[in-house]
């Protein structure tokens, strides 16, 4: 695999007998290493198939003889091809470099701390291929063990450039070679000058997912802003979905046409026997009828030139083979009529700003800046219910269902073009067309933050892998790496998704990680330092002039450092004067976190408006952290109204900032 590619490997020769081993060792020069050659022996050292430190021909012959004798008894059924006699490289830092083919994203490359501890330490950094050297360098620097490469506690720095070049060459070879599905180079030994690949294992297999899939069809911009909606399967029976959908649409200011051949009026609305009987233009059809009847209705909608079908019905691919076939029929009918399809098997869509609730979720959320695309309808209904008292607002909520036509990529494109959407949350179980998804999303994230919560992190059900790389790069890990590469912010709970979205939707990406914390409580000042460190926020040293200005009016016991503990006896006025100083010094920081606790001297409502005034006076990110219960709610409400993120828990505030900071591809780098 690596011959002639510019990758440094130790001199080596194959021997089949102890005599050949001796001769090979003599000609290579000492010391040498002997290794068993057998496809069936995956971990050679575990099987007694590696002998290091051979200094003479006799030793080489003896080691070869013993290996040929003992390995077959340790690995029953192993076919031994011989013994590899290899030049022994001096000790250095052992790194693993590997590649594999992921079912969603195709070929990936990884590196991590190598040698025998790989699977214990599990320190890996990875990227979806192809990537350039710049990205590979970032990958190398993303290893937890990177300080060992940079030079650690007096040890000399190692040749990072050589490692980057080697990984780059290996990844090009791997990406180009269709027949290769996986490889492990463990270890690659890294030195102050150069690096050597001493163990390589490659696997052949199926071709990677192809990159030349059908591109997404164009989408007309008003697709999710219909002026008229038909409800096919509108029902008079309150226990039916067709009833709930129609009832939800009663508050829609556009035209609503119930369709049902067995009724003339439902909920006070005239009912049409078929879509073809509707007199005017119809922009969207919500379909809530049993699956077997869906293809026929799609044909009628096509004849009526309806551009969008929202198929709520289940009984398609998610059910059985017959359902899958039905789904294909529906899509091909829709395609030939130029109609786009949401679903099937979905909850529908919600656009609060337009008063459009085309779902069977009875609750209409508030209008706001967050776009939410979810692979689970139940997650949507839960979130919507919770969002009302939390005063979280949405631009659009989409339940993707089976994604038989429109999928994550299309919905992302739609929200990208919507000026009301300022942050996008994805709830993902599985993505189809992974590479196309990454391409699209990397174009979107520099302008609109995309936050993703991916379920399915447990290792249950994942097959044991034959290679180190296979075991280090499970599908979930690859998702996380791919997300970061595309600039998506990965989060690990739904709550966290909203914490981060709220921050980014109102304040945009932080310009850097320099933080200032203001509080009146020593305990929270200490916690703030801890959380800042945990989430990568640098609490800056206060500029001398700023400290002097603060000294002029703060009580003598104030902390005189960051976090600013301004002592709780001064009320809101004291906060306000601190804010004024911070505004003047805003070039020195990027994020301000204002922590307040209940106190007889503090009017939360007044504090809320002072924080809002402060936020308006700076170009930087301002965050409220009004801790406590009911007594702080009045302040919270002010912050919400002014779109200033607020957190009731101190850790949540720092975590949200931390996640936002480490989005892979922020415009500010």
Contact residues for ligand ADP, defined by CB under 6 A: 10, 33, 35, 43-45, 50, 52, 86, 88-89, 94, 115-116, 186-187, 198-199
Binding segment (CB under 5 A) for Mg ion, from list 123-131, 178-186, 235-243, 453-461: 178-186
Residue number, 198 or 607, with CB nearest to ligand ADP: 198
* Closest to 623 (Cα-Cα) out of 632, 612, 633: 612
Cα Rg, the chain, nearest whole Å: 31
Binding segment (CB under 5 A) for Mg ion, from list 1-9, 51-59, 181-189, 225-233: 181-189
Asked if 487 and 441 touch (Cβ cutoff 8 Å), the reply is yes
How far apart (Å, rounded) are the C-alpha atoms in residues 465 and 586? 52
Give the x-and-dash track for 131-170 against Mg ion (CB under 5 A): ----------------------------------------
Residue number, 471 or 520, with CB nearest to Mg ion: 471
Residue number, 86 or 260, with CB nearest to ligand ADP: 86
Asked if 127 and 139 touch (Cβ cutoff 8 Å), the reply is yes
From its phi and psi, is residue 550 left (phi > 0), alpha (psi between -120 and 50) or beta? alpha
Residue number, 186 or 506, with CB nearest to Mg ion: 186
Binding segment (CB under 5 A) for Mg ion, from list 96-104, 194-202, 254-262, 536-544: 194-202
How far apart (Å, rounded) are the C-alpha atoms in residues 612 and 166? 52
Outline where 258-390 has alpha helix (H): 294-303, 321-336, 377-390
Q: Which one of Mg ion, ligand ADP, none interacts with residue 642, CB within 5 to 8 A by kind?
A: none
* Closest to 245 (Cα-Cα) out of 320, 158, 346, 123: 346
Binding segment (CB under 5 A) for Mg ion, from list 75-83, 158-166, 199-207, 658-666: 199-207
Q: Fill in the DSSP letter of residue 157.
A: P
Residue number, 50 or 231, with CB nearest to Mg ion: 50
Q: Which one of ligand ADP, Mg ion, none interacts with residue 35, CB within 5 to 8 A by kind?
A: ligand ADP
Output the six-digit token pair for 597. Answer: 């606790």
Report, in Å, the least distance between residue 161 CB and ligand ADP: 22
Q: Which one of ligand ADP, Mg ion, none interacts with residue 50, CB within 5 to 8 A by kind?
A: ligand ADP
412: three-class secondary structure by DSSP: helix
Residue number, 45 or 618, with CB nearest to ligand ADP: 45
Q: Which one of Mg ion, ligand ADP, none interacts with residue 293, CB within 5 to 8 A by kind?
A: none
Report, in Å, the least distance between residue 198 CB and ligand ADP: 4
Report, in Å, the least distance between residue 201 CB and Mg ion: 8
Asked if 272 and 233 touch (Cβ cutoff 8 Å), the reply is no
Report, in Å, the least distance between residue 474 CB and Mg ion: 20
Residue number, 116 or 466, with CB nearest to ligand ADP: 116
Report, in Å, the least distance between residue 114 CB and ligand ADP: 7
Helices (runs of H) and strands (runs of E) counted in the chain = 21, 29
Query: Phi and psi (nearest 5°) for 361?
Result: -90, 120
Report, in Å, the least distance between residue 4 CB and ligand ADP: 19
Sign of torsion over alpha carbons 175, 177, 178, 184: negative
Is residue 476 classed exposed, middle or buried when 0-12, 13-18 and 19+ CB atoms within 10 A define those classes?
middle
Binder to Mg ion among 88, 125, 171, 186 (CB under 5 A)? Answer: 186
Q: Fill in the DSSP letter of residue 413.
A: H
Asked if 263 and 319 touch (Cβ cutoff 8 Å), the reply is no
For helices 650-661 and 522-534, what crossing angle results, to 10°? 30
Binding segment (CB under 5 A) for Mg ion, from list 163-171, 175-183, 192-200, 335-343: 192-200
E strand or H helix that includes residue 517? strand 514-519
Residue number, 54 or 131, with CB nearest to ligand ADP: 54
Rounded-to-10 torsion of CA 405, 407, 410, 415:
130
DSSP string, 424-443: EEEEES--SSHHHHHHHHHH
Output the six-digit token pair for 501. Answer: 């979205």
Residue number, 184 or 496, with CB nearest to Mg ion: 184
Residue number, 93 or 450, with CB nearest to ligand ADP: 93
Report, in Å, the least distance between residue 187 CB and Mg ion: 6
Report, in Å, the least distance between residue 213 CB and Mg ion: 36
With contacts defined by CB under 5 A, how many residues of the chain interact with Mg ion? 2
Output the six-digit token pair for 533. Answer: 């460190």
How far apart (Å, rounded) are the C-alpha atoms in residues 584 and 270? 64
Report, in Å, the least distance between residue 404 CB and Mg ion: 45
Q: Which one of Mg ion, ligand ADP, none interacts with residue 45, CB within 5 to 8 A by kind?
A: ligand ADP
Residue number, 413 or 468, with CB nearest to Mg ion: 468
Residue number, 85 or 278, with CB nearest to ligand ADP: 85
Report, in Å, the least distance between residue 181 CB and ligand ADP: 19
Report, in Å, the least distance between residue 173 CB and Mg ion: 19
Is residue 29 classed exposed, middle or buried when 0-12, 13-18 and 19+ CB atoms within 10 A define those classes?
exposed
Binding segment (CB under 5 A) for Mg ion, from list 193-201, 350-358, 437-445, 588-596: 193-201
Break the chain down into helix, strand, coil percent, rounded to 5: 40, 20, 40
Report, in Å, the least distance between residue 79 CB and ligand ADP: 16
How far apart (Å, rounded) are the C-alpha atoms in residues 659 and 654? 9
Sign of torsion over alpha carbons 660, 664, 666, 669: positive
How far apart (Å, rounded) are the C-alpha atoms in residues 553 and 227? 59
Report, in Å, the least distance between residue 115 CB and ligand ADP: 5
Residue number, 33 or 528, with CB nearest to ligand ADP: 33
Q: Which one of Mg ion, ligand ADP, none interacts with residue 89, CB within 5 to 8 A by kind?
A: ligand ADP
Minimal CB distance to Mg ion: which residue? 199
Binder to Mg ion among 199, 361, 410, 590 (CB under 5 A)? Answer: 199
Binding site for Mg ion (CB under 5 A): 186, 199
């Amino acid at each position: 695999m690596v011959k002639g590619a510019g990758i440094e490997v130790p001199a080596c020769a194959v021997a089949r007998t102890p005599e050949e081993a001796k001769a090979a060792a003599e000609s290579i020069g000492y010391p040498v290493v002997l290794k068993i050659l057998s496809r069936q022996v995956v971990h050679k050292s575990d099987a007694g198939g590696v002998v290091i430190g051979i200094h003479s021909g006799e030793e080489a012959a003896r080691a070869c003889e013993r290996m040929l004798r003992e390995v077959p008894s340790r690995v029953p059924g192993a076919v031994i091809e011989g013994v590899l006699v290899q030049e022994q490289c001096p000790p250095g830092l052992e790194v693993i470099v590997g590649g594999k083919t992921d079912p969603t994203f195709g070929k990936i490359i990884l590196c991590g701390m190598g040698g025998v501890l790989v699977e214990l330490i599990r320190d890996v950094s990875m990227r979806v291929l192809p990537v350039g050297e710049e990205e590979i360098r970032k990958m190398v620097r993303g290893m937890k063990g990177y300080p060992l490469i940079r030079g650690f506690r007096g040890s000399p720095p190692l040749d990072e450039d050589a490692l980057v070049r080697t990984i780059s060459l290996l990844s090009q070879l791997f990406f180009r070679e269709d027949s290769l599905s996986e490889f492990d180079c463990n270890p690659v030994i890294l030195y102050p000058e150069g690096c050597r690949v001493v163990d390589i294992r490659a696997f052949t297999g199926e071709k990677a997912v192809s990159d030349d899939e059908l591109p997404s069809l164009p989408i007309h911009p008003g697709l999710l802003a219909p002026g008229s909606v038909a409800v096919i399967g509108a029902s008079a029976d309150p226990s039916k979905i067709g009833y709930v959908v129609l009832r939800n649409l009663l508050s829609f200011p556009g035209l609503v046409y119930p369709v049902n051949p067995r009724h003339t009026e439902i909920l006070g609305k005239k009912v049409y026997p078929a879509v073809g009987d509707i007199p005017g233009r119809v922009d969207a059809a919500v379909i809530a009828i049993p699956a077997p009847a869906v293809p026929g209705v799609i044909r009628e909608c096509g004849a009526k030139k309806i551009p969008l079908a929202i198929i709520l019905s289940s009984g398609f691919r998610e059910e059985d083979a017959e359902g899958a076939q039905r789904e294909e029929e529906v899509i091909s009918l829709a395609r030939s009529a130029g109609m786009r399809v949401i679903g099937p098997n979905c909850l529908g869509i919600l656009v609060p700003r337009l008063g459009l609730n085309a779902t069977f979720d009875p609750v209409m959320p508030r209008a706001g800046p967050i776009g939410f695309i979810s692979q689970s309808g139940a997650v949507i209904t839960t979130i919507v219910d919770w969002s009302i008292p939390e005063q979280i607002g949405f631009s659009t909520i989409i339940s993707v269902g089976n994604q038989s036509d429109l999928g994550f990529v299309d919905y992302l494109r739609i929200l990208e073009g919507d000026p009301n959407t300022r942050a996008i949350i994805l709830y993902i179980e599985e993505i189809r067309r992974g590479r196309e998804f990454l391409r699209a999303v990397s174009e979107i994230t520099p302008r609109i933050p995309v936050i993703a919560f991916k379920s399915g992190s447990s290792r249950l059900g994942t097959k044991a892998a034959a290679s180190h790389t296979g075991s280090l790069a499970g599908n979930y890990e690859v998702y996380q790496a791919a997300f970061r590469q595309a600039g998506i912010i990965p989060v690990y709970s739904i709550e966290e998704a909203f914490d981060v979205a709220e921050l980014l939707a109102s304040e945009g990406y932080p310009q850097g990680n320099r933080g200032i914390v203001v509080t009146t409580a020593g305990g929270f000042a200490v916690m703030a330092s801890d959380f800042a460190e945990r989430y990568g926020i640098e609490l800056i040293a206060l500029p001398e002039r700023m400290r002097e200005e603060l000294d002029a009016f703060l009580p003598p016991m104030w902390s005189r450092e960051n976090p600013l503990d301004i002592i709780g006896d001064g009320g809101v006025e004291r906060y306000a004067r601190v804010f004024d100083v911070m505004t003047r010094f805003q070039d020195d920081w990027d994020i301000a976190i204002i922590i307040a606790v209940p106190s007889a001297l503090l009017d939360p409502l007044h504090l809320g408006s002072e924080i809002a005034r402060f936020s308006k006076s700076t170009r930087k990110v301002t965050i409220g952290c009004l801790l406590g219960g009911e007594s702080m709610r009045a302040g919270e409400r002010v912050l919400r109204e002014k779109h200033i993120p607020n957190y009731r828990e101190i850790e949540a505030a720092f975590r949200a900032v931390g996640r936002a900071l480490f989005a892979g591809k922020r415009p500010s780098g």
